[in-house]
Amino acid sequence: MTFDKVKEIIIDSLSVDEDKVVLEASLSDDLEADSLDAVELIMAIEDEFGIEIPDEKAGEMKTVKDIVDYVEENA
């Protein structure tokens, strides 16, 4: 499932507890990701799923669900 893989990448990239990574979690508020964290996370997602996420689209991703939805639509 896409969510499970995205969750694993988020846990590794942001060093957050597994229970914090839920679909509704805000990357900046709940997971405390700063702009550098977000860039590294997007790069890890791109590498894992073999996709390219345009900067404009990456900037629109605010929650875990936003990432999962994009990957499911584009991978």
Q: What is the pLDDT of residues 28-53, one digit of tens each?
A: 999 999 999 999 999 999 999 999 99
Domain holding 24, by residue range, is 1-74
- CATH number (domain holding residue 58): 1.10.1200.10
- The amino acid that residue 41 corresponds to is L
Domain count, the chain: 1
Half-sphere exposure (Cβ direction) of 72: Cα atoms closer than 13 Å: 11
Structure tokens at 15: 């060093």
pLDDT one-digit tens code per residue, 16-31:
999 999 999 999 999 9
pTM of the predicted model as reported, rounded to 2 decimal places: 0.94
**Adjacent-strand bridge partners of 26:** 63
Q: Which residues are catalytic?
A: 34
3-state SS assignment for residue 4: helix
Q: How confident is the model at residue 1 (pLDDT cuts 50, 70, 90)?
A: confident
Structure tokens at 19: 């229970």
Q: How confident is the model at residue 74 (pLDDT cuts 50, 70, 90)?
A: very high
